[in-house]
Structure 1
């Protein structure tokens, strides 16, 4: 018989652990906080960094955070675990995150696990701001973690797209072109105007400051290591259209930039100006050209990522999955082969309609009728534009 002890489960590892999390209010942060508190109920305490915002204190922000629908299942299953979530007032732009002496001592005395997820995902951010948030913020998190006497794990949440010049991305740290410490010094003394002029040259081959600074931040964390679907989407939108749909949702992927620009001009630019002209004639505020410009800007920033194929190696991830206990394999679902993508996209759109757009599910029949009218109008427009 094998005398080795049975593998420790995920929930078992987190039992009686104290966590500190930055970026908890973000998209990924909310999901992680909820999953940990619901699936690892033995967690002792979870401290999250919150910044007072627009006159709203951290306790009020924490209350608003916990009222989010994402915590409904947690409220049903382990309502007592909500009390384990505690806010610490601070800001990642300040030394020691601007935490009070009392909070710093608490973390130094109790914290075993740090998740650093606070970062800016704005692709058009200036280099100075991106460095201060994504690199210097990570450096401050590492410095803070150094003082935690019980620290076991420091997790830096990065991005898969921090080396866009590599054809096949492996599960490893890639060498950075620049040193994080030199870069943090550079943005402090260089004039902002000169820094803006040099920004593209500095960040190459990355297309924006986000990917560049996340890559540098990974290298910074490494320094401390060891120290202490097209057809599916259309069918889903056909079954679950939006109530306030302005136009029929359509689109054809293309590798031709010229064709994309022609289609965008005919389907986006011209209709936007026509709508604003009609609104002006009837004395209503114009907004469609502004919306179109925002959409175009967003597509331009994402073009580098959505117009090419990406290949990610996941051997380490798969080997890690094989080490999960059967119970953890069910709780922390990681087998993408078992995902029903039609069901996934259907739930995705329904969730967006309900949670983001605040649409009443009872209005779905009305939305489907509107969808059919928009479809006819769309086909008529497609014919007329080529006459």
Structure 2
């Protein structure tokens, strides 16, 4: 067994990263360049997007705040990054032949992070990116002459049936190759909702379904390739590196935080006592780097190594705790208020949820859009509510149940590391305080996603106080007039009953 340290192992290595322009891919790139400076080269596979070629996209990525500490330490760090054109949904990954030949002859480590993350996308899109894309990367890896490790990044939520998500592969009920053949047969315009529903079974969407099938594909290559699988849970902003709170998108719980903080979301279907599974992005990336190192230092295997990366039982989290702490932190570190004073509740009662959404979200949105229309402005609030509704519908499956995840193998990645490298590639040896996590998440979202600098906090707090006063005045106004209405209704009913009684008495006489 190889006794070299992790950083020694990565010296002189050439790496291929798919999905390197995504949230996790960028954090992985930064960590490798900063903590494994001996890396020889990193091929970053990316598509052309918005008229920008991969080289231009990498150049734009290098300007992000994420890379500022790295570039202060090593201004030439990006000279090791080689952008190459590639697309998971295209034959031969859409690579030019000369680039493909370079990758085959030089790459020793593959990190397969590329995937379609749009949970609402249809079966054909997910199969194309998550299933056929993974197959194409595996086929490319089989041709690599010096491959030492292939890490496929999946998700703990790809296993929806077992009460505990174990660190092993669960055989799917359908054959992944049959699903690929089926979707190739289906035409793009054909309505295949009925077929999709039958295929999904226990899965809530095509994303988790195809991620499970992709794991099965990876497992098929365990004899011929040094494969391993890493399954992060819900990925949250960074805990520590390169600084607390880094995030660049509003997906998942971050979007819920922002919608609540802006006052445009007042209710969510969610069980307070349901256990959640989350992990900061920098912790997940450390596990991915360590998984590649460990697989390369072991010999032939009979089972594909699987690592669940989550809070597990180390940091027990419930949605109720997250909700309460989130409200506390938002009160201290508010985002710039939007529609109304932040608030909202979680419930498991569908009728109560829909009632709150209608009166506290839809009606205000319609009213604001009506005013905007009258004054000749572009309406947008109902579009925002539609996005919130779609997002909540997707998240409902995950928030309405408890998730139990085994993380023993992931914790064991630290066993052979010296104390210094345990600190560099931290996993469970950090204090994941929920209040600190929420603070980092909210401040990071405020600064990096909403573009609200930290020095706007004083003005945001003043606005929040003003919104609170208006909120209380409006609620008092509504309560007062509701009481007046009920009293008047009571006396009207009383008078009606008296009149009816008198009429009855007269008629009787």
Q: Please indicate the TM-score interval, normalised by the length of the shorter structure.
A: over 0.9
Supply the distance in 2 between the matched residues of 1:369 and 1:109 (Cα, whole angstroms).
60
Supply the distance in 2 between the matched residues of 1:172 and 1:316 (Cα, whole angstroms).
10
Alpha-carbon distance change, 116 to 27 in structure 1, aligned in 2, over 3 angstroms: same
Is contact 1:187-1:195 (8 Å) kept? no
Deviation for aligned residue 1:137: 0.2
Within 5 Å, give how 1:1-387 maps onto structure 2: 7-192=3-188, 193-228=190-225, 229-335=322-428, 338-383=431-476, 387=482
Alpha-carbon distance change, 280 to 181 in structure 1, aligned in 2, over 3 angstroms: same
Q: Deviations over 1:169-209 (max 9, x none)?
A: 11110001111111111111134525333111111110110
Alpha-carbon distance change, 194 to 361 in structure 1, aligned in 2, over 3 angstroms: closer
Deviation for aligned residue 1:279: 2.1
- The alignment's TM-score, normalised by the length of structure 1, stands at 0.94
Deviation for aligned residue 1:385: 5.6
Alpha-carbon distance change, 337 to 37 in structure 1, aligned in 2, over 3 angstroms: closer
Number of positions where the alignment pairs a residue of Structure 1 with one of Structure 2: 383
Supply the distance in 1 between the matched residues of 2:382 and 2:329 (Cα, whole angstroms).
28
Q: Deviations over 1:106-163 (max 9, x none)?
A: 1121111001111101112111111111100000000000000100111111011012
Is contact 1:45-1:84 (8 Å) kept? yes
Is contact 1:245-1:371 (8 Å) kept? no
* Greater Rg over alpha carbons, structure: 2
The RMSD of aligned alpha carbons is 1.8
Is contact 1:123-1:301 (8 Å) kept? yes
Alpha-carbon distance change, 195 to 283 in structure 1, aligned in 2, over 3 angstroms: closer
Is contact 1:41-1:78 (8 Å) kept? no
Mark the runs of 5 or more structure 1 residues left unpaired by the alignment: none
Comparing 21-30 and 95-104, the one that deviates more: 95-104
Deviation for aligned residue 1:323: 2.8
Q: Deviations over 1:25-72 (max 9, x none)?
A: 111111111111111111110001011123222221121121111111
Comparing 251-260 and 326-335, the one that deviates more: 251-260
Alpha-carbon distance change, 321 to 258 in structure 1, aligned in 2, over 3 angstroms: farther
SS in 2 for 1:165: coil
Supply the distance in 2 between the matched residues of 1:135 and 1:60 (Cα, whole angstroms).
28
Mark the runs of 5 or more structure 2 residues left unpaired by the alignment: 226-321, 483-509
Q: Deviations over 1:262-318 (max 9, x none)?
A: 222221112111212222333322211121111111101111012211000111112
